[in-house]
Amino acid sequence: MNKGLALAAAGLLIAASARGQEKPLMAEDVFKNIQVLKGIPVKEFMNTMGFFSAATNLNCIDCHSPQSESLEGYAIDTPRKQTARRMVLMVNQINQANFGGRKMVTCYTCHRASDRPEAVPSLLDQYSVPEDDPNRVEVVPAGPVQSVKKISADQILDKYLQAIGGAAQAARLTSFAAKGTYEGYDTLSAKVPIDIFANSPNQMATVVHTQNGDSVTTYDGRSGWIAAADKLMRVLPLDGGDLEGAKMDASLSFPARIKQDFQWRTGFPSVTIDDQPVEVIQNAARGATGAKLYFDSESGLLVRQVRFVDTAVGVIPTQIDYSDYRDVAGVKVPFKRVITWTDGRSTIELAQVQPNVRVQPAQFAKPAAPRAKAPAP
């Protein structure tokens, strides 16, 4: 997705509140000329746009009008938009007729990151040695499979807790306030300040100080919200996979209860990340779309999280890579995180982490709509 749509979306992510109960607006309540993607929340609509981008390797301007710097511009029909509508209906019909409505066939099934689906088999693909994607590893059904180690999720997590300083020491970390830098598509790849606040067991707030104003994400232990800095911006409640992801991020900040707070499954084949063997477990509560955690087989440290969000046309992944572990009050904390998803890649590098500081509960409440900064004279 291009920066124009990202900024436009940031200015339109709106939440309605009915006597304290969050009710997200639907795509057709916010955007104009919505025809086949009606009845889904705005956040899912934007995730669906990201799925289109990942499937076809096109950005917003490739499909939308060149005038797409406003709602009216994005609403203009183009030949590719009309084709996309027909393709969504076609895929829905295939899945309904053959798979009981499950999203087994998606845009990516045929396109595979190309604007044109391939009809002729590639001999290069057939006879070259493919590179295995560790993010796609799946549990092997019960049976005599040599590539699967007989190691339980509890054993993997026990090793992880020991690697970061021990379960008892991890339990002593009850809060922190961190400062560092953030860079990504929303900052035009420039490094900007970031503040992170967290309270045990699973509250977290992130404030990115972008050139246009603050972008705020909060999770209070049950509900979450995101607010981007634009003059039209309001507050967007998180739901579905986005809410589950916020919970996982907050829980991983205080991993002493990571074994008890989630149901884990294991039994994955051996895979590597950067040529280093890793052990994989998955949040069993969400089945095949539960978050996967990857732990270095040698050190036991967490090196990657992969989580998934449902969209109207399929499932999209988000990958978070952890590195640069440093000691914070006797607990090893990753000071670098690289987040990769269908809309781009961002990097968080912490400079300092203050442990066991008092963080007010209000820090994790629903954020106020931030104001955009006035342009420089």
Q: In tens digits, what is the pLDDT along the chain, a chain of 377 residues?
A: 444 444 444 444 433 333 344 677 888 988 889 999 999 988 889 889 989 999 999 888 889 877 656 777 888 999 999 999 999 999 999 999 999 999 999 999 999 888 888 888 777 777 776 677 888 888 766 554 445 557 899 999 999 999 999 999 999 999 999 999 999 988 989 999 999 999 999 999 999 999 988 999 999 999 999 998 654 447 888 888 899 999 999 999 999 999 999 999 999 988 999 999 999 999 998 888 899 999 999 999 999 999 999 999 999 999 999 999 999 999 999 999 999 998 789 999 999 999 999 999 999 999 987 766 665 55
User: CA-based Rg of the chain, rounded to a whole angstrom?
Assistant: 22
Note the pLDDT tens digit of each residue in 285-322: 888 889 999 999 999 999 999 999 999 999 999 999 99
Contact 56, 3 (CB under 8 A): no
Element (H, E) at 79: helix 79-99
What 3-state DSSP class applies to 203?
Answer: strand
Contact 151, 266 (CB under 8 A): yes
E strands present in 83-220: 175-183, 192-199, 203-210, 213-219
Contact 302, 160 (CB under 8 A): yes
Residue type, 118: E
Q: What residue ranges define each of the domains in the chain, with the CATH number in brackets?
A: 3-124 (1.10.468.10), 134-364 (2.50.20.10)
Contacts of 194 by beta carbon, 8 Å cutoff, 6+ apart: 179, 180, 181, 182, 206, 207, 208, 209, 348
Residue 287 pLDDT:
80
Residue type, 326: R
Residue 145 pLDDT:
47
Residue labelled with tokens 């579905």: 240
pTM: 0.86
Contact 181, 348 (CB under 8 A): yes
